[in-house]
Amino acid sequence: GENVEQHPSTLSVQEGDSAVIKCTYSDSASNYFPWYKQELGKRPQLIIDIRSNVGEKKDQRIAVTLNKTAKHFSLHITETQPEDSAVYFCAASITSTGANNLFFGTGTRLTVIP
Amino acid sequence: SQTIHQWPATLVQPVGSPLSLECTVEGTSNPNLYWYRQAAGRGLQLLFYSVGIGQISSEVPQNLSASRPQDRQFILSSKKLLLSDSGFYLCAWSPPGTGDGYTFGSGTRLTVV
């Protein structure tokens, strides 16, 4: 099955700085790459996603890039704010008819220091 | 709009006792349904998924089982809990025929004592 690796496991940045989280995947057939944010004790929530036919996607301060050749994708958060502090998970899946299981990375705990 | 309900929110159970966690989805038909487990400080591990009533697939061998008695109902069960079953259990759904747009339930924090 798919294997997703995520780095770093923890990340601390000063408020206003940028944060970058990187993931790699193993199955070249994977074509959907979402990112989830999980606050302490709460459910993961989708913050942005990208499909394999797109190289980059941006939504305000959040952007995701995808390099299909290298099989890696990254989350970029600019102008970080204290409320960005959370655990972030990347994931990969093959979307097709039937079940489409998301395989998650191990998470990155982001701390934004005021 | 679609909503997903999961209960109970917290549960403390003794070793060897049974388990039943329930998840229901509203506002959609024939969703893909999933059970994930998250150990403390760890990532999300897929346990079971279902593409239709009575259709259950398991990703990892364990003493847990899942059932889908109705289109929008997904149940996670165990006959005898182990200490290692402690964790945060999350139900999720996605539109039929596609895995994008996963939405998670609010989770059940299970502590086996």
Note the pLDDT tens digit of each residue in B47-96: 999 989 999 988 776 789 999 999 999 999 999 999 999 999 999 999 87
Sequence-distant (6+) residues with CB within 8 A of B49 are: A99, A101, B32, B33, B34, B35, B56, B57, B59
Query: Does B21 or B95 have the greater pLDDT score?
Result: B21
Cα B47 to Cα B92: distance, rounded to the nearest angstrom:
11
Cα B38 to Cα B28: distance, rounded to the nearest angstrom:
26
pLDDT tens for the 114 residues of chain A, in order: 789 999 999 999 999 999 999 999 999 999 999 999 999 889 999 999 999 888 999 999 999 999 999 999 999 999 999 999 999 999 998 876 566 788 899 999 999 999
Residue in A44, A100, A107 closest to B32 by CB: A100
For residue A50, the model assigns a pLDDT of 93
CA distance A9 to chain B (A): 10
Residue B100 has pLDDT above 80, yes or no: no
Sequence-distant (6+) residues with CB within 8 A of B102 are: A34, A46, A102, B34, B92, B93, B94
CB A61 within 8 A of CB A48: no
Q: In chain A, which residues have their Cβ closer than 8 Å to the Cβ of B106? A: 42-43
Q: Any idea what the Cα angle at residue B78 is, between residues B52 and B81, rounded to 5°? A: 150
Q: Nearest chain B residue to A109 by CA: give it.
A: B41
Count Cβ–Cβ pairs < 8 Å, chain A vs chain B: 65
CB contact (8 A) between residue A99 and residue B104? no
For residue B41, the model assigns a pLDDT of 73
For residue A87, the model assigns a pLDDT of 96
For residue B98, the model assigns a pLDDT of 65
Cα B42 to Cα B40: distance, rounded to the nearest angstrom:
5
What are the C-alpha distances in Å from B37 to residues B24, B84, B104, B110?
17, 11, 12, 10
Which amino acid does the sequence have at A79?
E
Cα B102 to Cα A98: distance, rounded to the nearest angstrom:
14
